[in-house]
Chains A and B, each alone.
Chain A
Amino acid sequence: EADIYQTPRYLVIGTGKKITLECSQTMGHDKMYWYQQDPGMELHLIHYSYGVNSTEKGDLSSESTVSRIRTEHFPLTLESARPSHTSQYLCASQVASGGTDTQYFGPGTRLTVL
């Protein structure tokens, strides 16, 4: 069982609110990722990090931002939420030693913006 946690699990908020989705892992993994997943669709990479103070945008354009101040913590922030941000957000982590290492996923945050 992977030790990667996401909070909150569910969030319903109004348009224009600022939100932060939390992701923490206790495995000491250097690589961390944020994915966005809509029902019945594939996961899309929106942000990734190779280590502390390293963050990059993924393939899917996103208005969210991330930070990596500590190895175990990779929060995602939306400054002004809109209905188009409604989706499931999945955080994952991976050992940095090689490309075959498995990505471990958190349980996800289901975000609904009204």
Chain B
Amino acid sequence: KNQVEQSPQSLIILEGKNCTLQCNYTVSPFSNLRWYKQDTGRGPVSLTIMTFSENTKSNGRYTATLDADTKQSSLHITASQLSDSASYICVVSDRGSTLGRLYFGRGTQLTVWP
């Protein structure tokens, strides 16, 4: 069964600290992996997207890594800010259909305290 598992489910950190969120997936075949940020009451916004051949990609203070062999990804947030408080969702796409079907994780709820 194709699945996307994220950990931790929730995380609280102090402003200025770094943190790393994890994503493990069993989706096969694999096309790409995306990290989205979803603020409370809003739709998800794309942070990064990585294909099979990419193992790291940065977007400002966000750095995503991908290990396609172990089917693991991480999202590292550097020097956290209060505005980073949100749910971070890992999404994996297969290439087995014309839909390019997306498999969503349940997200990690990050709270940044002052």
Q: How far is the CA of A92 from the CA of B99 in the complex (A)?
A: 14
Greatest chain B CB density within 10 A among A4, A43, A91, A104 is at: A43
Indicate if B60 sits at the interface (CB-CB under 8 A): no
B41 touches A48 (CB 8 A): no
B42 touches A108 (CB 8 A): yes
- Which residues 66-114 of B have a CB within 8 angstroms of A? 89, 93, 95, 99-100, 102, 104-107, 109
Instruction: Write out the residue numbers on chain A whose beta carbons fall within 8 Å of the beta carbon of B31.
Output: 99-100
Indicate if A74 sits at the interface (CB-CB under 8 A): no
A100-B41 contact, Cβ under 8 Å, with A41-B106, A42-B106, A48-B99: no
B42 touches A107 (CB 8 A): yes
Count A-B pairs with CB separation below 8 Å. 52
B93 touches A42 (CB 8 A): no
B51 touches A100 (CB 8 A): yes
A42 touches B43 (CB 8 A): no
- Which residues 76-106 of A have a CB within 8 angstroms of B? 90-92, 99-100, 102-106
Contact of B32 among A41, A48, A99, A104 (CB under 8 A): A99
A92-B43 contact, Cβ under 8 Å, with A42-B104, A42-B106, A99-B95: yes
Contact of A99 among B43, B93, B107 (CB under 8 A): B93
Instruction: Write out the residue numbers on chain A whose beta carbons fall within 8 Å of the beta carbon of B32.
Output: 99-100
Q: How far is the CA of A2 from the CA of B46 in the complex (A)?
A: 10
> Which A residues fall within an 8 A CB radius of B?
2, 4, 6, 40-45, 48, 90-92, 99-100, 102-108, 110
Residue pairs across A and B with Cβ atoms less than 8 A apart, 19 shown, are A6-B43, A40-B107, A40-B109, A41-B106, A42-B107, A43-B89, A90-B43, A91-B43, A92-B43, A99-B32, A100-B31, A100-B32, A100-B51, A102-B34, A102-B49, A103-B102, A105-B36, A106-B43, A108-B41
